[in-house]
Amino acid sequence: MTMHPLTRVLLGLACILVGLWLVAPTLVVVPMSFNENKSLAFPPQGFSWQWYQNFVTNPEWSTSFFNSLKVAVVVAILATVLGTLAAFGLDRMRARPAGLLRMLLLTPMVVPGVVLAIGIYAVYLDARLVGTMTGFVLAHTILALPFVLIAVQASLEVFDKRLETAAASLGAGRIATFRTVTLPLIAPGILSGLLFAFVTSFDEIIVSLFITSPYMKTLPVQIFTSITRDADPTVAAVGTILLCATTILIGGGLLLLGRDRRSSL
Amino acid sequence: MSASDAPSERAASPRRSWGPLALALPALVLLVAVIGYPLATIVIRSFTEPQAGLQNYSWFFSTPVNLVVLQRTFTISAWVTLVCVFCAYPFAYAMTAVGPKLRMLLTLCVLIPFWVSGVVRTLSWVILLQDSGVINSMLRSVGLDGVRLIRTQTGVIIGMAQVLLPFMVLPLYSVMKGIDLRLVQAARSLGAGPIRAFFTVYLPLSLPGVYAGAIIVFILALGFYITPALLGGPRSTMLSTLVQNQVLSLLQWGRGGAMGVVLLVATFLLLALAGPLMRQRHKQGTR
């Protein structure tokens, strides 16, 4: 459709501004991470790698990083298994109960974080789970589960069930059918669920802030306390590292996706 | 699709009806243990601590500070939603109008913030908005001195809107993508000017996307904790911070619980109100 040139210019301008607003602010952590002074004041002074060194050598930072990594890996696996099973279950149920259970399983997405956090904190205090690996894994798994459910359900929706019938009619057992037909076809959904679950756990902050202890901190908790305590540019260094890691992950994913599409053509 | 599947499956094997439930059972057990039980604990405590009764709720609704914060939480959420609608609308429209390469770029702009850690994004807003921050040093160079952004409501709104903008753009885009532009052309050919064609044809067709996005953004904004805690000050406290304060600092589980229940009820009321709007969208989609 033809657009008035003035509309075109205004629309382009709005787009550039909104795009910048979305992406640019986050980039500010990059120059701050090379600051020579122990301050987050802009503009940064000089150049130094000391905050990156601090991240690697200071046990407060490195331990919290590895805690986050451990929790996120376990959560990604657990949430993916539970979420995929649930997605299959809901797929084979009648529409009404399936819709109800789906709504229930998605509630963790809409319950205000702090309300959930004080509830979990109350229960964990009684169950002695505050500041434990198990506590973090349980809480993060239920928060990550909705993302797995959505991703796997989406790929099950476009999955043609007649293929299962075809495999069965050709003599494949239920397990063989699942392994050779169903699983490969819905693998992209499971994989994106896995990735989402990992990121959800690695990023989770509100519940973590409540169930943390001096002995068990995750990276977001460490970042949060550091921001509220003092102006330590190590947070900027950590932010830059996370930014690079995500960019590489997404970039790699897009490249893989592009190659897949080309090879299938 | 599922409606037509269901009867045949039921007729074929009635005994299979427990199998699917067994598959979903582990997730449901975890849900009850880690979400259901804790929420029930909070609701019960709000009615029973320190004594049984409604005193926590009467305290909440009779203390001026609480009411101010409650009202502020809704005001800030409404502003954030409004900012998101106005920024996302042209952006989502452009996503439908440009070629595939540019669309990829615009989509990336929306998705990258999704992937970057929320705490890191709030950290960058702290760096930008602080008194010695980027925006203030720019304002100072054009002669505007001493503008306070951090620890103000404006700062909180700017930061929250940026964090929530993707949740507005994506549903808007998915609705706009499905709008038949020939309808707009038809309106034009029947003599409507571009502005009239937009307001009478395109805008009404895109409203379901606006509603869906606005409700998601508003609900998420109501429960925001990290951004107001780091960017806000005493005059921009939101309900979540009060809840945290009651429980962690004052150990008032009953009062904190009552506040939490208020927040929870507000969220689910909004979701229930949103239900009919969403259903309407569904009907329009199938028509």
Task: Let me know: does A210 contact A118? Beta carbons within 8 Å.
Answer: yes
Residue B60, pLDDT score: 92
Residue B132, pLDDT score: 76
ipTM of this model?
0.85
Which chain B residue lies closest to A29 (C-alpha atoms)? B124
- Residue A66 contacts by C-beta under 8 Å, 6 or more apart in sequence? none
What residue type is A179 in one-letter code?
R
Per residue in B135-162, pLDDT (tens digit) is 877 787 887 776 777 888 888 999 999 9
Of the two residues B38 and B275, the one the predictor is more confident about is B38
- Closest by CA to A43, choosing from A57, A52, A31, A55, is A31
User: Average pLDDT for residues B179-185, to the nearest whole number?
Assistant: 89
CB atoms within 10 A of CB A37: 12
Q: Is the CB of A203 less than 8 angstroms away from the CB of B194?
A: no
Of the two residues A38 and B256, the one the predictor is more confident about is B256
Per residue in B28-39, pLDDT (tens digit) is 999 999 999 999
- pLDDT bin (cut points 50, 70, 90) of residue B107 is confident
Q: Which residues does chain B have within 8 Å of residue A199's beta carbon, measured at their own beta carbons? A: 115
User: Average pLDDT for residues B49-58, to the nearest whole number?
Assistant: 89
In terms of Cβ atoms closer than 10 Å to its own Cβ (0-12, 13-18, 19+), residue B53 is exposed
**Is B6's pLDDT higher than 90?**
no
CB atoms within 10 A of CB A13: 11
Low-confidence ranges of chain A (pLDDT < 70): 1-2, 254, 256-265
Of the two residues B282 and A125, the one the predictor is more confident about is A125
Considering CB atoms only, which of A25, A101, A203 is closest to B128?
A25
Q: Is the CB of A42 less than 8 angstroms away from the CB of B20?
A: no
Q: What does the domain layout of chain A look like in residue ranges?
A: 63-217
**Is B212's pLDDT higher than 60?**
yes
- Residue to test with chain A: of B91, B179, B259, most A Cβ within 10 A: B91
Which chain A residue lies closest to B133 (C-alpha atoms)? A42
The two tokens of residue B90 are: 């042209």
Residue B116, pLDDT score: 80
- Residue to test with chain A: of B111, B116, B131, B195, most A Cβ within 10 A: B116
Q: Is the CB of B87 less than 8 angstroms away from the CB of A105?
A: no
Cα–chain center distance at A105: 17
Residue A164, pLDDT score: 87
Q: Is the CB of B185 less than 8 angstroms away from the CB of A1?
A: yes
- Residue B273 contacts by C-beta under 8 Å, 6 or more apart in sequence? none
Q: Which residues does chain B have within 8 Å of residue A122's beta carbon, measured at their own beta carbons? A: 38, 41-42, 45, 253
Range scoring the smallest mean pLDDT among A17-26, B40-49, B276-285 = B276-285
Query: Could you tell me the sign of the dihedral formed by the alpha carbons of A236, B115, B226, A217, in that order?
Result: negative
Q: CATH code for A63-217? A: 1.10.3720.10
SS3 (DSSP) at A101: helix
Q: Under the phi-then-psi rule, with left for phi > 0, alpha for psi from -120 to 50, and beta for the rest, what region is B152?
A: beta
Residue A205, pLDDT score: 93
Considering CB atoms only, which of B6, B132, B247 is closest to A94?
B6
